[in-house]
Amino acid sequence: MKELENIVAELESGNVPLERSVELFNKGKELHKYCDKVIKEISLHIESVDPDDKELSAKFSDD
């Protein structure tokens, strides 16, 4: 997560050459995909531990 935050900060600085920006953007997309996968796996695990916890399930829904 920290690496993704660093990428965003570097891109937002506005002092990044185009080629580096493309590299950072692609790396950021990969990290986002990985983080999304981890969050979904954790959400499924939580639901399997306590499937009746509607409040917790709502926090992790895709909506």
If pLDDT is split at 50, 70 and 90, which confidence band does 53 have? low
Task: Look up the domain containing 13 and give its range.
Answer: 2-59
What contacts 14, CB < 8 A, 6 or more positions away?
none
Choose between 59 and 26: higher pLDDT.
Answer: 26
How many domains is the chain partitioned into structurally?
A: 1
The answer to whether the pTM exceeds 0.75 is: no
Residue % of the chain over a pLDDT of 70 = 79
The answer to whether 29 and 2 have CB atoms below 8 angstroms apart is: no
pLDDT in tens, 32-47: 999 999 999 998 888 7
Nearest C-alpha neighbor of 9 from the set 1, 30, 36, 38? 1
Question: How far is Cα 43 from Cα 40, in angstroms, rounded to an integer?
Answer: 5
Q: How many CA atoms lie within 13 A of 48 on its CB side?
A: 6
